[in-house]
Amino acid sequence: MAHTTHSPTVGTERVYHVFEDPHAHDDGHAHHPETGTNLGFWMYLMSDCLIFAILFAVHAVLGRNYAAGPSPADLFDLKLILVATFMLLFSSITYGFAMLNSYKHNLRRTIGWLLVTGLFGLAFLGIELYEFHHLAHLGATPQRSAFLSSFFTLVGTHGLHVTFGLIWLVTLVFQLKKHGLNAANNRRLMCLSMFWHFLDVIWIGVFSYVYLMGVVG
C-alpha cells in the first residue's frame, strides 16, 4: 500500500513524497483459498445427497415389483449384510482415530489408521461383490424385475462411491508420506472424513430400508 506524506510548505508549494509498503505486494502466487475448496466440496456432497435421494425414491416406488420373481426375503442374508455394515461402521471409527492423530501432528499413526480404514473398506466391498455374485448365480440379475433393477442401482452406486473413496484414501496416504501434515493435506483429510462418514450414513439407510424392511416387511 502506498502512503503519502508532505513536507513542510516551501513558499507556496507543497512537496509530496510517496512511500511504498514493502509488505503490500502480492507475489502473484496466492494460495488456493480454503473457503473455495470447502464450498466446492460441500456442493459436491449436496449433489451426492440429491443422487441418493432420487435412488431411494425410485426404490420406494419399484421395490415391491417382483414380476413373479424372488423377493428380498428369498434373496438377502441379513447376517452377511450385518457383517458388511459393521465393517463400514468400524472404518468410520478408525478414520476418526486418524483425524485425532492428525490433530496431534502424529504422521505415522495418522497413516496407520488410514490404512486400517482402507482394510475395513476393502472388506466391505468384498462382501458386497460376493453378494452380487451370489445373486447373479441365483438368476437375480437387474433384468429380472424392477425391484432388482432399483436394488442393484442403489447398492451399486454406493459401492462405487466406496471404491472412489478408497482410491482417494490411497492417494492421500502417498501425499502424506511426501508432504506430511501440511495445511493442504489437513484440508484433504477433513474432506475425505466428511465423505467417508457420509457414505456410512447412506449405508445405514440402505441397510435399514432396503435390506431390513425388505425382509421383515
Closest CA to 114 of 133, 101, 129: 101
Residue 103 has a CB neighbour count (10 Å cut-off) of 11
pLDDT under 50 in the chain at which residues? 9-10, 18, 20, 22-30
- Give, as one character, the DSSP assignment of residue 47: H
In a domain, 48, yes or no: no
pLDDT, tens digit (0-9, with 9 covering 90-100), for 93-105: 999 999 999 999 9
Closest CA to 191 of 209, 205, 177, 175: 175
pLDDT of residue 216: 86
Q: Apex CA 91: angle with CA 89 and CA 94, to 5°?
A: 115
pLDDT of residue 184: 93
In a domain, 50, yes or no: no
3-state class (DSSP) for residue 190: helix
Q: For position 75, which CATH number holds?
A: 1.20.120.80
In a domain, 92, yes or no: yes
| CA atoms of 131 and 75, how far apart (whole Å) | 10
Report whether 211 contacts 81 (CB < 8 A): yes
In a domain, 82, yes or no: yes
Report the number of distinct structural domains present in the chain.
Answer: 1
| pTM of the predicted protein model | 0.82
